[in-house]
Chains A and B, each alone.
Chain A
Amino acid sequence: MTSLPATTEKRLGLVIDLDTCVGCHACAVNCKEWNTGAGASPLADIDAYGSDVSGAWLNRIHTFEVTPDDAPAQIVHFPKSCLHCDDAPCVTVCPTGASHKRPEDGIVLVTEDLCIGCGLCAWACPYGAREMDPVENVMKKCTLCVDRIYSETLPEEDRIPACVRTCPSSARHFGDFNDPESDVSRLVAERGGIDLMPEMETHPVNKYLPPRPKTRPQAAAPSAAAPASVPKADGFLGWLDAALDKLG
């Protein structure tokens, strides 16, 4: 049923720390790897080794330049995947019931056998979290690694989403936002976690931790434009110097 649940028992999701993300794309690569080899249909690519590569990914890393009024620009790497919104517009537009939000943990999923590939859910999502699989012709999206987090066979430490498991700079965190004592809830409270495009009223579960303020240089450094004084050369170099001067 593509009506949204009024509340969900848990609200599982991610915290993404824009301060520590180094933009290595390891989370996206591990996401692709896991979701290509795991239970559901693979995440397909077209012309994977050719000049016009294209394919379905569930996680994409953008890089932005942010320029303050009074300081040099800074670079922010920006991983983006499904935000598992409380008011997910991608769910209610689905005509078949393929797109749904689970009442038990709030994860937004697509039942691939029910998907007709109309693409309307991708139109309804402001974040670009859904991509059509070019081979299966069904909509693909982040499952929050539902096949890892509830696994009974994987080692305990691997029962977290692949992107979180692989992040080398601990920029990604997974947990239940309904539990105020969870790591993710505390991180959001301490660091002032934010929603992306709040004006779309999707109420995302995933939160982003803004970059910490940059330290600014105390005083302006001496101008690099002023040439340093050049020591006077003698001998052969002195002759060369004088000769070149004469050439104008």
Chain B
Amino acid sequence: MHPAVSVIFFTVMSGAGLGMIFLLGLGFPVDASAAWVFLVGVVGGGLAVAGLLASTFHLGHPERAWRALSQWRSSWLSREGIAAIATLILFGIYVLIWLATGSRHQVLGLLSALGAALTVFTTSMIYAQLKTVPQWHSRLTPVVYCGFALGSGWLLASALGTHEAPEYWGIGLIGLAWAAKWMWWARASRSRLGDAGSTPETATGLGFIGKVRLLERPHTGENYLTREMVHRIGRKHASRLRMLALVLGGIVPALVLAIVGLSGAPALVNLLAAVSMLIGLLAERWLFFAEAEHAVSLYYGHR
């Protein structure tokens, strides 16, 4: 699959923002001045909004994006749009009340936390629902998305909030998220198109005669299908990118957290861990798309 920068940026950034909203809604301690609370709210909400805006760059007609709110009965993408907007409105009101009164409205907080969790889940289901991409079509996909959102959200919240010794929790959450991703990678390596039972023989129905091989494409150049779904250039550096994702997204943040936790350095240093993790997740998300095999590639000569 074509790794579109807008979608990669969207899923990583809005994931972190929504993870932070989830934690703040559940009552992650931020005992600080109103200005600082405002900043914390802007980081959480801002990342989620920036991600959502980036995702509209992926659309052919962004001005019609509001229409995507209508088909929640059948479409995960529609559900995601509704969940995201509802969550941001709830969280906005939650932060405004917090700023105005100095106290946090518990019910609104819980509702924004629930909304944030649902939004990340619906995002992941957009990919997990697709039978055409067997590597994505798994229950582990939502687990990984939620795990990374929670992990990166925790790092941001721990840097800006006043949780006591958040570093050990942070290391645990990063570890769990990467354990899920490790399982996802292991499953993906044995969930290629052929493993799911799709081959050029089933795609053409000609397997009863013999082995099927593409002789001629229908067109001499590229088309939308080959650019979008038969994209393979991104796989060139797969193993190096996987290492980069793991180091920047997991090992470096865990080391930073451990050093901060042991040395008693200010929690703000955890921001380094958060930034490193987000960069690592951009690489992880690139691979999520670039390594995915789509069924239509069977009509274009890929086994």
Q: Report A's interface with B, CB cutoff 8 A.
A: 1-4, 18, 25, 28, 52-57, 60-69, 71, 73-76, 78, 80, 89, 91-98, 114-120, 122-128, 131-132, 134, 136-138, 194-201, 208, 210-211
Contacts and interface: CB of A to CB of B under 8 A. Distances in A.
Nearest to A79: B218
Contacts of A115: 60-61, 64
B210 A68 contact: yes
Contacts of A200: 131-132, 198, 295
A239 to B, nearest CB: 50
| A contacts with B: majority SS | loop
Contacts of B206: 18, 64, 66, 76, 210-211
Interface of B: 1, 58-62, 64-65, 67-71, 73-78, 81, 126, 129-133, 196-198, 200, 202-206, 208-225, 228-229, 294-296, 299
A125 B213 contact: no
Given A132-B60, A195-B205, A124 B74 contact: no
Nearest to B56: A116
Given A126-B295, A132-B60, 7 more contacts: A57-B223, A62-B214, A62-B217, A66-B210, A66-B212, A122-B229, A200-B295
A35 B230 CA distance: 26
Contacts of A119: 58, 60, 228
Given A64-B200, A116-B59, A124-B130, A93 B214 contact: no
B132 A65 contact: no
Nearest to B65: A116
A208 B205 CA distance: 8
A64 B215 contact: yes
B145 to A, nearest CB: 17
Contacts of B70: 95-97
A62 to B, nearest CB: 5
A94 B126 CA distance: 11
Contacts of A92: 74-75
A95 to B, nearest CB: 4
Contacts of B210: 66-69, 71, 73
Contacts of A114: 64, 67
29 contacts: A3-B73, A18-B206, A28-B218, A64-B200, A64-B213, A64-B215, A66-B210, A68-B209, A75-B215, A93-B75, A94-B71, A94-B75, A95-B69, A97-B71, A114-B64, A114-B67, A115-B64, A116-B61, A117-B59, A118-B59, A118-B60, A118-B68, A122-B229, A126-B203, A131-B225, A196-B202, A197-B295, A200-B132, A210-B208
A95 B205 contact: no
